[in-house]
Amino acid sequence: MKTSSVCAKLMPLAFVLLGAFAVNAAVAADFELALTIKDHRFEPREPVVPANQRVRLTVHNQDSTPEEFESKVLGREKIIPGGAKAVIFVGPLKPGRYPFVGEFNEATAQGVLVVQ
Amino acid sequence: MFATSLIVFRETLEAALFIGIIAAATRGVARRSAWIAAGVLAGVLGALALAAGMERISAWADGVGQDLLNVAILSVALAMLAWHCVWVSTHGREMAQAARQIGQSAAQTDGALWALAVAVALTVLREGAETVLFVSGLLSGESTGLAALVGAVLSGLAAGVLVGLVMYLGLARVQARHLFSVTNALVLLLAGSLASQLAKALVQAGLLDWGSAPLWDGSSLLANESALGTFLHALMGYDASPSALQLGFYAGAIALVMLATRSVQRRAAVLAR
């Protein structure tokens, strides 16, 4: 059908996007931040990161149950199985306080990303 | 227990609305119930498998395996919706005419129904895996009574399905001659929503970082976690604080699907002449 030619037209776009990803991955220098979850609490509770730099956030869930890292303001949402580590990229951000929670245990799993 | 119910409800809602809209968009199409049911079943089975393998997947690709998988799932679901929109725009009309000539009772056929079934399966898979993990965590975790837990999960699930059903029944009341354009518009919005989530997943995985800062914060007007915000998110990808990238993907996906639809229609018209 004619749709195949539409696909053909979109192919170059796909390659440009892939190229952009590759360049991006090579250039990026990210601020590393490690968080742990234990007994459904984040540690540290209020980590401090620099402004205007992308952050590579590693969350280590030391509980046996899964948790969902979630921040509405940051627009992030990611499940971390029990005992597992997950990486979440955030930012670059403007200075401010960005709250996050563990959605599955919101009563205790609270934290704030402090950007300075 | 209410919190448990609410989380299950939120996860269910998005898939249920998706299915409600797809079901309404394919009313009167031969064997559509079987296709949609197959999509849901495949999605549920996939969700169980995905939840079981989540620990391994999380560790892939330096800890962003889950996001890469999400990117793949969203891309395929988006492609399926787009494919169906394009297919229906040409064949839908021919089929409708053919059916009218043979007799009103003849059911339409939809040669791209499989694409919608795949999109349904992927949506159920994505939302379902999170629910399965959440519930399995509760089962192995705190010593809440099993009966209370099952009750909470089932009530959340039922509430989500109910909203999907209300959506479907609401669309069923739309007059037949408007139904096609209404459901088409809703499917387009679903495509936009998938694209916006795709943009988010790409940023979260660290594959893209330009245009990722929120453009504004509309939380005080309509927060994501409010009832209406949750509903609009599931329906059309509402986000209180969207990034430029998300808006670009949203508008871009809708524009691309409309453009592809138009160009295929135009060619079909030229060929028919």
Q: Hey, is the C-beta of B141 within 8 angstroms of any chain A C-beta?
A: yes
What mean pLDDT do residues B206-223 have? 85
Q: Hey, is the C-beta of B263 within 8 angstroms of any chain A C-beta?
A: yes
Candidates B137, B207, B243; nearest CB to A82: B137
pLDDT in tens, B37-82: 999 999 999 999 999 998 889 888 888 899 999 999 999 999 999 9
CA distance B59 to A84: 7
Angstroms from B9 CA to nearest CA on chain A? 13
Q: Is the ipTM of this complex over 0.90?
A: no
Residues of B in contact with A66 (CB under 8 A): 54, 133-134, 136-137
pLDDT in tens, B91-146: 766 666 665 565 444 556 777 899 999 999 999 999 999 999 989 888 876 666 88
Angstroms from A83 CA to nearest CA on chain B? 8
In the predicted structure, residue B169 carries a pLDDT above the cut 90 = yes
Candidates B55, B212, B239; nearest CB to A81: B55
Domains of chain A: 30-115 (2.60.40.420)
What mean pLDDT do residues B199-228 have? 87
Task: Write out the DSSP string of B20-33.
Answer: HHHHHHTTTBTTHH
Which regions in chain A score pLDDT beneath 70? Answer: 1-28
Angstroms from B240 CA to nearest CA on chain A? 9
Residues of A in contact with B59 (CB under 8 A): 84-85
Overall pTM > 0.90: no
According to the model, what pLDDT value does residue A3 have? 47
According to the model, what pLDDT value does residue B273 have? 72
Judge: B140–A65 Cβ closer than 8 Å, yes or no: yes
The two structure tokens encoding residue A78:
């990611």
Angstroms from B200 CA to nearest CA on chain A? 8
According to the model, what pLDDT value does residue B184 have? 86
CA distance B237 to B18: 11
Find the helix or strand (DSSP H, E) in which B117 lies. Answer: helix B113-140
Contact B224, B240 (CB under 8 A): yes
Of B241, B263, B272, nearest to B82 by C-alpha is B263
pLDDT in tens, B5-28: 998 999 899 999 999 999 998 888
Judge: A85–B140 Cβ closer than 8 Å, yes or no: no
Query: Which of A89, A103, A105, A113 has the most B C-beta neighbours within 10 Å, making it the best mutation to test the interface with B?
Result: A89
Q: Hey, is the C-beta of B58 within 8 angstroms of any chain A C-beta?
A: yes
Candidates B66, B208, B263; nearest CB to A79: B66
In the predicted structure, residue B190 carries a pLDDT above the cut 70 = yes
According to the model, what pLDDT value does residue B211 have? 83
According to the model, what pLDDT value does residue B87 have? 85
Judge: B55–A68 Cβ closer than 8 Å, yes or no: no
**Chain B residue nearest residue A8, CA to CA:** B260
Domain range for B262: 2-272
Q: Is A111 exposed, middle or buried (0-12, 13-18, 19+ CB in 10 A)?
A: buried
**Chain A residue nearest residue B241, CA to CA:** A73
**Chain A residue nearest residue B61, CA to CA:** A87
Tell which B residues from 59 to 98 touch A, by Cβ distance under 8 Å.
Answer: 59, 62-64, 66-67, 83, 86-87
Judge: A64–B239 Cβ closer than 8 Å, yes or no: no
In the predicted structure, residue B161 carries a pLDDT above the cut 90 = yes
Tell which B residues from 172 to 201 touch A, by Cβ distance under 8 Å.
Answer: 200
Give me the half-sphere count of Cα atoms (radius 13 Å) on the Cβ side of residue B250.
17
Of B225, B267, B227, B220, nearest to B90 by C-alpha is B267
Q: CB-based contacts of B113: which residues, under 8 Å, 6+ apart?
A: B26, B29, B31, B32, B35, B84
According to the model, what pLDDT value does residue A8 have? 56
Domains of chain B: total: 1
Of B110, B1, B135, B106, nearest to A68 by C-alpha is B135
Angstroms from A48 CA to nearest CA on chain B? 18
SS3 A92: coil
